[in-house]
Amino acid sequence: MKDIGIDYVWTDKKRTIFGLPLSFTRYFLTENKLITRKGFLSIEEDELDLYKVTDKKMFLPLTQRLFKCGTISLHVKDVDTPVKDIQKVKKPRDVLNLIDKYINLSRDKYNIRGRDMMGPDFDIHSGDFIDDDV
C-alpha cells in the first residue's frame, strides 16, 4: 500500500459498533514505525519506533470477539507514549504477529534487544543518556 511515498505494511481503522470502521482513528504500520492518526478536522498523529517496544499484550473481550476484533497493547520505552493501544482492529492475532515480525527486523537493524533498553533512558542515535531533569 502506498500513500504519499510511504510503504505501509498494514493499515486499519478502529472499529466501533458491530465491528464497523466508523471511526476517525486509523493505524498504519511501516517496516520501522507504528503511526496512529486521530481526528477529522483537526488531526493528531503519533509515531513510535518499533525497536522501542518492550512487551506486547492482546485483549479479546467477548464484545470484540463476536465481530472478530481485538485490542493490542504495546509497552514502549518512550517518554510521551509508554503504553500504546491499537484498539478494536480486525484479525488482532495476525496483526500482532505482523507487528512482532517487524519489531524483530527493526531491532536487528539497530542491533539491539529488549533487554538492552532496560534501566536509564538512552538515546540510541546519539549514544547519550537523556536527562529528564532538564
3-state secondary structure the chain: CEECCEECCEEEECCCHHHCCCCCEEEEECCCEEEEEECCCCCEEEEEEHHHEEEEEEECCHHHHCCCEEEEEEEECCCCCCEEEEEEEECHHHHHHHHHHHHHHHHHHHCCCHHHHCCCCEECCCCEECCCCC
List pLDDT tens digits, range 59-99.
999 999 999 999 999 999 988 889 999 999 999 999 999 99
Residues in contact with 72: Cβ distance below 8 Å, sequence separation at least 6, in sequence order: 56, 57, 58, 59, 85, 86, 89, 92, 95, 96, 99
pLDDT tens for residues 11-52? Answer: 999 998 888 999 999 999 999 999 999 999 999 999 999 999
Q: In this predicted structure, what is the pLDDT of residue 31?
A: 94
2-110: in CATH 2.30.29.30: yes
Question: Residue 5 — pLDDT band, cuts 50, 70, 90?
Answer: confident
* % of the chain exceeding 90 in pLDDT: 69
pLDDT at residue 2 in the model:
47
Q: Is the pLDDT of residue 134 over 50?
A: no
pLDDT score of 101: 96
Q: What is the pLDDT of residue 112?
A: 84
pLDDT digits (tens, 9 = 90+) for 41-55: 999 999 999 999 999
Q: How far apart are CA 7 and CA 68, in angstroms?
A: 26
